[in-house]
Amino acid sequence: MTIQVFIVDDSAVVRKVLSDFLDSVPGIDVIGVAQDPIFAQKKMQKTWPDVIILDVEMPRMDGITFLKQIMAERPTPVVMCSTLTEAGSRVSLQALSLGAIDVVAKPKISLDCSMEEASVELVAAVRTAAKANMAAAKPKAFVPIPRTPQKLTADAMLPKNTSGAISSTPLIAIGASTGGTQALEAVLTALPANTLPILIVQHMPEKFTKAFADRLNSLCQLTVKEAEDGDAVISGRVLLAPGGKHMMLHVNRAGVSVQVKDGPQVSRHKPSVNVLFRSVAKYAGSKALGVILTGMGDDGARGMKEMHNVNAKTIAQDSETCVVYGMPKEAVKLGAVDYEVPLSQVPKFIVSHK
């Protein structure tokens, strides 16, 4: 089925380039464009789109205000176009909290009006948004990173073996993608300050993860921070993998910590859930609880299977509460999941883990 897209952007050049590019993609049809939300509302009443691509800063009505209106009156998958700056990251997180399915970088248009750098990310965002469960997306969602043709496994970062010191501290490892900001906020804000250590991979690009960690830290009883290499894994602390780098659990004589390293994309993502889960299987074994939340694709499924094989407890978010039931579904298909539960029950499993 063709995905019908409407573009709202105050730049005529951006509207033209995005429209021409998306129209050239099989299965995507741009049914209209507008320079601001006022014009967009009038045009979209004739044929309502499947996905809206929305600029942030526009005259007469900004994108955030229009997003609020869309979600209140006629919830529709929205992909925001934002600048990848510190300020842009904050606005993007606000958009995700209001119901946007995805945020992509504002395309840099070259002199020949090409946008190859952003094309893969944009198409992936539109296709993901078209599949979103809007009932589950009501407040928030996530920002994926661009995909590459080659799909590496966790072997690219960490050999598959179970030798090495095992952590004496139980811990929680969580992986999420599309819809993850909503799900993670719901889970973490429900947890007490003395919760076991939590390690999280949420698919996000650079600049977004620190803003997201800071936001969660302001809302939670737990201490939430963007992980740095060597950070100690301790109760009451949540470490979020930084965008553009992998995060791995590590245990040695000095104690339990995380390693934050650059490297190739694994399962087409960096950070990758598979990399985190493999390291947790290796260094935490049966003392770990693995959680896989809403997300597009299959990152985390194989890593969770490795955790399951060393007797770690594993749970997955169910299809009814996922914005996109992709990653949990793949983990279930592999036989990696002990329990499939609604999002509201995830905090209970975390608190009860010993």
DSSP 82: E
Note whether 317 and 342 are within 8 A (CB).
yes
Residue 108 pLDDT exceeds 80: no
Residue 162, pLDDT score: 52
* Burial of 54 (C-beta count, 10 Å sphere; 0-12/13-18/19+): buried
> Per the domain annotation, does 21 fall within a domain?
yes
> Per the domain annotation, does 141 fall within a domain?
no
Residue 163, pLDDT score: 54
> Per the domain annotation, does 139 fall within a domain?
no
Rounded CA-CA distance 229/241 in Å is: 10
Residues 89 and 51 in one domain: yes
Phi, psi of 26 (to 5 degrees): -60, 135
Q: Which of 43-52, 103-112, 119-128, 133-142 has the lowest mean pLDDT?
A: 133-142
Domain that holds residue 224: 154-352
> Per the domain annotation, does 170 fall within a domain?
yes
> Per the domain annotation, does 314 fall within a domain?
yes
Q: What is the CATH number of the domain that holds 100?
A: 3.40.50.2300
Question: Which pTM value belongs to this model?
Answer: 0.79
Predicted confidence band of residue 121 (pLDDT cuts 50, 70, 90): confident
Rounded CA-CA distance 32/307 in Å is: 47
Structural domains of the chain, count: 2
Residue 56 pLDDT exceeds 70: yes
Tokens of 24: 């050239």
- Inter-axis angle of helices 180-188 and 208-219, to 10 degrees? 30
Residue 145, pLDDT score: 32
Dihedral sign for Cα atoms in the order 333, 339, 344, 349: negative
Q: Which of 58-62, 63-67, 221-225, 311-315 has the lowest mean pLDDT?
A: 58-62
Residues 173 and 123 in one domain: no
- 119 is annotated as an active-site residue: no
Q: What is the CATH number of the domain that holds 241?
A: 3.40.50.180
Which of 102, 298, 299, 318 does the annotation list as catalytic?
299
Residue 216, pLDDT score: 95
Residue 149, pLDDT score: 44
Residues 299 and 217 in one domain: yes
Residues 209 and 79 in one domain: no
Residues 114 and 255 in one domain: no
Give pLDDT tens digits for 1-41: 899 999 999 989 889 989 999 999 999 999 999 999 999 99
Residue 92, pLDDT score: 80
Mean pLDDT of the chain: 88
Residue 161, pLDDT score: 66
* Residue percentage of the chain with pLDDT more than 70: 87
Rounded CA-CA distance 338/313 in Å is: 7
> Per the domain annotation, does 176 fall within a domain?
yes
Residues 227 and 279 in one domain: yes
**pLDDT mean over 218-224:** 96
> Per the domain annotation, does 86 fall within a domain?
yes
Residues 117 and 158 in one domain: no
Give pLDDT tens digits for 70-82: 998 899 999 998 7
Note whether 33 and 23 are within 8 A (CB).
no
Residues 112 and 164 in one domain: no
Residues 8 and 118 in one domain: yes
Which of 19, 89, 177, 257 does the annotation list as catalytic?
177
Phi, psi of 193 (to 5 degrees): -65, -20
Give pLDDT tens digits for 123-173: 989 999 999 998 887 544 333 333 344 556 777 667 676 555 676 789 999
**pLDDT mean over 300-306:** 97
- 231 is annotated as an active-site residue: no
Residue 109 pLDDT exceeds 90: no
Residue 82, pLDDT score: 75
Predicted confidence band of residue 342 (pLDDT cuts 50, 70, 90): very high
Q: Which of 146-150, 220-224, 274-278 has the lowest mean pLDDT?
A: 146-150
Residue 180, pLDDT score: 92
Residue 114 pLDDT exceeds 80: no
Tokens of 119: 């094309």
Residue 88 pLDDT exceeds 70: no
Which of 36, 203, 257, 298 does the annotation list as catalytic?
203
Residue 19, pLDDT score: 92
Tokens of 176: 């999420």
- 89 is annotated as an active-site residue: no
Residues 307 and 183 in one domain: yes
Residue 280 pLDDT exceeds 50: yes
Predicted confidence band of residue 268 (pLDDT cuts 50, 70, 90): confident
Residue 329, pLDDT score: 97
Residue 333 pLDDT exceeds 90: yes
Residue 31, pLDDT score: 96
Rounded CA-CA distance 165/213 in Å is: 29
**pLDDT mean over 201-229:** 93
